[in-house]
Amino acid sequence: MSQQTDDGDELGLTSATAGTRRTTKLAVIGAGAVGSTMAYAALMRGAARSVALYDINKAKVEAEALDLGHGIQFMPMAEVVGSDDINVCADADVVMVTAGAKQKPGQSRIDLAEATISLVKKILPEVVQVAPNAIYVMVTNPVDIVTYAALQISGLPPTQLFGSGTVLDSSRLRYLIAQHTGVAVQNVHAYIAGEHGDTELPLWSSATIGGVPILDWNGLDGHVPLTGQVRDSIAREVVESAYRIIEGKGATNYAVALAGSRIIEAILKDEHRILPVSSLLQGYHGINDVCLSVPSVVGREGVGERLEVPMSADELAGLRRSAESLRAVAHRFGF
């Protein structure tokens, strides 16, 4: 009788048999600032054993993969390849789509929609053909519109394809709350919901610091309380921070890559982690047929239950306004 090790491998397997054991595979579409940094973050965190970069720019994608590969010695063991051949994505477990039009200073995410949707129409069916069972995460902006369009283009079920949504925005929110209150960001629990963009909103009603509701937070010594004015200032800074970063350095890439790698881990490790990803909502607080972000369970099967977190009347109205805005944009582009 064969024995099993703690990780489930049977003892006594031949090296040839062991060598065919399935490894987790991540495919990143687009080797630009976001895509290449996404691959780097996933490798550094050990999120996947195999990382494939795809881009139509052959020289660029091969150079990015080579540069990453040279650092594998200093990361958790993995393999990284880059190619302009779509087959590099074959049999991926997770596909992160980062390719799209680049956002310029002063340009809104919605302004990017037409060019990015055209690109998705061209690329996505080819990727689905070689990786039909992957979980697809759209990262390209405007992510909510692109996610909705991608569902129509690909025909994939809404559990299997969703957007990175406001995972990054929620991280920005928690960072700013931590800065204002003087506590560790890991002890702040708060979500941004709605559009990943100008109509997004913080869910203050369900936010907590160390278990204390933020609306009841009186502040620690040396730190001002989170008054309504302070909360409004934080919310504005969350929305405007991306524009500020783009104006200063041309692109946001580090934080979005780390947020993306967290989504990858939640999928590949089947964590059932609650993340505010952008997915197709049907009957959520009366919201239907639109992709936007709400706290949702993410695991190996993709996006699952959407949590109907408590919301104030103002927050619910704001979420519905965000949904109406996104639906209008989707209709403008024929979706």
Q: Choosing from 70, 196, 223, 331, which is the catalytic residue? A: 196
- 80 vs 88, 161, 206, 254, 308, CA distance in Å? 10, 24, 40, 19, 39
Which of helix, strand or coil describes residue 252?
coil
Q: How far from 166 is each of 59, 90, 216, 319, CA to CA, in Å?
A: 32, 28, 25, 13
Both tokens of 144, joined, read: 């909510």
Distance, in Å, from the CA atom of 154 to the CA atom of 197, rounded to the nearest integer, reads 24
196 labelled catalytic:
yes
Please report how many Cα atoms fall inside a 13 Å half-sphere around the Cα of residue 275, on the Cβ side: 30
Task: Using only the alpha carbons of the chain, give its radius of gyration.
Answer: 21
Q: How many CA atoms lie within 13 A of 322 on its CB side?
A: 27
Q: Are 254 and 260 in contact (CB under 8 A)?
A: no
Q: What is the DSSP string of 170-200?
A: HHHHHHHHHHHHTS-GGGEE--EEB-SSTT-
Instruction: Point out the residues that are catalytic.
Output: 196
